[in-house]
Amino acid sequence: MRVLLIQTLALGDLLLDTPLLSAVQEVHPQARITVLAQEAYAEVAGRHPAVERFIPWPGRELAELASQPGPGAPLPGLARLERLERELAPGYEMVINPCFNDPAGALSFLARGRRTRVLGADLSAEGALVMRGDWMAYYQVHLQGPHLNPLHAADILALATGAPAGARRLVFAPTATEKAAGRQMLARLARAGRPKVVALQMGAGKPERSWPWDNWRELARGLLRRGLGVVLTGVAAEAPAADRLVQELGPGVLSAAGATDLGCLAGLLAGCRALVSGDTGTMHVAAAVGLPIVCLSLAGARPRATGPYRPGSLVLEAALDCAPCADPAACSHHHCRRALRPDDVLAALEHLLGEPYRPPEGSRTRVYRSARAADGLLELSPLGTHRDQPALEALRAAWLAVLAGHPAGPPLPGEELRRVAGELAALANQATRRLQELRAALAAGRGSAAAEMARAAAGLGERFGGTALASRELTPLAIYQVAGIGAQDQPDPVNQATGQARVYGQLAAVARRLAGQAASPPG
């Protein structure tokens, strides 16, 4: 079986895909897996034992070629695309693509043959971007409704392959040579009397997710007062900020920014006690080597879905109604960056290293701990109370019951929410029945009756979506509805009606569980 993973996004995204590669290997031990990703991250694919082949994604090269002036400018880019198409041409039995954008969807379209199963982004026959597969339709919840997604992206993607729920990890291990190089770098701090070292990743790929430099300085000072050493990680562009911190704070702080490749970074982190970082590639490398993490979740970071995939790590989020941010580009105040204070991070680090958690006076921070649930999936639980926690537990149990066959869990809290969920279940049941009738009418060639049934089903679908969107806790059902129905683009209208009926059947089952109703099939 030939499998292709398409991941054209950042380092962290590819690292979060490594558990799904392990899941594919579990379900299909003879699978021959190819990874298409940015060339800079070839090493990540190369270190996964399940990966046989790597195809570099020439996204930057194509963008540069497209920007060239002159009438013949498109030709080199088209030639490069033709070479890429030839590399994909042999066809695959399975294409997995968690990148929901048009170029990635086009790659799935190029790679699939007549019998290819696509999980994730793809193009319909009309060129529309769709998300194929039940769990990949649910994946849209973490992208568009992060407040009420209770599942980690790495687990969602592993479940999408058909693998059972279970404990998995990110895969990117340093070599013995890289570990030795890391120890050598940290020896300078040991000679300064600071053998226990905490790593700080000051920069972030997205500026709005960067914590202010002054906060990093105060955090480093707090660590030095506690007798710990500090090593600063990052890319070359982050080296000036790191060097400035070294100059201010002296020999207890070491900068490795711009001085490590991925493997050496992993080796360096393996020698540390903990990492403090935003939601960055460095954080995911640390999770892969098993390093405890304090993650600063700022702006649009989605801690439940893309936070540290390492049990025992902590996530700090501003205690604001707008966190996580739905539209960081539109935010002008960045209150979340001021709400998280250095003393909040120090308290979390002390707890991570074995002390009882003592929130600082006046803290405006929510703290979560990652842990393995009984089913092996990662879950993020608050240290304290959070208004969304009961709803998250109900949503988690309902989706896993319907999409993964787990036992049903608790209903939504609150009589009004359960009432609305029951209304959604009834609407989804009605839509299911109309679509089943539509399928029968189409199969029998009753065109006029089919048209009326299609209008009725569409009307019920609109009512379902509007009702779900009107409730914050039930918005995930509307997101799943759009993604699931959008992927039912089969040319045969009978099959299309069958697929849509199945989606509404799933939505009815989820809504019934959230309402606390018996999980009987639609009548």
pLDDT in tens, the chain (523 residues): 999 999 999 999 999 999 999 999 999 999 999 999 999 999 999 999 999 999 999 887 777 766 777 666 667 777 878 888 888 877 799 999 999 999 899 999 989 888 899 999 999 988 999 999 999 999 999 888 878 899 999 999 999 999 999 999 999 999 999 999 999 999 999 999 999 999 999 998 777 778 999 999 999 999 999 999 999 999 999 999 999 999 999 999 999 999 999 999 999 999 999 999 999 999 999 999 999 999 999 877 888 999 999 999 999 998 777 777 666 766 767 677 777 899 999 999 999 989 999 989 988 899 999 999 999 999 999 987 788 899 999 999 999 999 999 998 999 999 999 999 999 999 999 999 999 999 999 999 888 889 999 999 999 999 999 999 999 999 999 999 999 999 999 889 999 999 999 999 999 999 999 999 976 554 4
The answer to the question of residue 466 being in a domain is yes
pLDDT value, residue 326:
65
Among 370, 386, 402, the domain boundary falls at 386
d(CA 4, CA 27): 15
Q: Determine which helix (DSSP H) or strand (DSSP E) holds 155, and give its type and residue range.
A: helix 153-160
Hey, CA dihedral for 274, 277, 279, 283, is it positive or negative? negative
pLDDT value, residue 330:
67
Name the H helices within 389-446. 389-404, 415-444
Q: Are residues 265 and 371 in the same domain?
A: yes
Count of domains for the chain = 3
pLDDT value, residue 523:
43
Residue whose token pair is 């030095």 = 224
CA atoms within 13 A on the CB side of 424: 33
The answer to the question of residue 377 being in a domain is yes
Which structural domain, as residue segments, surrounds residue 110?
Answer: 2-160
The answer to the question of residue 129 being in a domain is yes
Q: Are residues 254 and 358 in the same domain?
A: yes
**b/e map of 133-153 (b: 16 or more CB within 10 Å)?**
bbbbbbbbbbbbbbbbbbbbb
Q: Are residues 231 and 125 in the same domain?
A: no
Q: Are residues 228 and 109 in the same domain?
A: no
pLDDT value, residue 332:
63
Q: Are residues 435 and 344 in the same domain?
A: no
Q: Are residues 470 and 331 in the same domain?
A: no
The answer to the question of residue 442 being in a domain is yes
Q: Are residues 204 and 269 in the same domain?
A: yes
The answer to the question of residue 210 being in a domain is yes
Q: Are residues 433 and 318 in the same domain?
A: no
Helix-then-strand count for the chain, H and E: 20, 14
Q: Are residues 207 and 155 in the same domain?
A: no
pLDDT value, residue 522:
46
Q: Are residues 122 and 228 in the same domain?
A: no
The answer to the question of residue 100 being in a domain is yes
Q: Determine which helix (DSSP H) or strand (DSSP E) holds 294, and give its type and residue range.
A: strand 293-297
At a CB cut-off of 8 Å and minimum separation 6, what does 407 contact? Answer: 397, 401
d(CA 314, CA 367): 7
Q: Determine which helix (DSSP H) or strand (DSSP E) holds 451, and give its type and residue range.
A: helix 447-469
Hey, CA dihedral for 511, 517, 519, 523, is it positive or negative? negative
Angle at 314 between CA 310 and CA 316, to 5 degrees: 135
Q: Are residues 153 and 197 in the same domain?
A: no
d(CA 36, CA 325): 30
Domain of 103, CATH number, reads 3.40.50.2000
The answer to the question of residue 391 being in a domain is no
The answer to the question of residue 397 being in a domain is no
Q: Are residues 65 and 214 in the same domain?
A: no
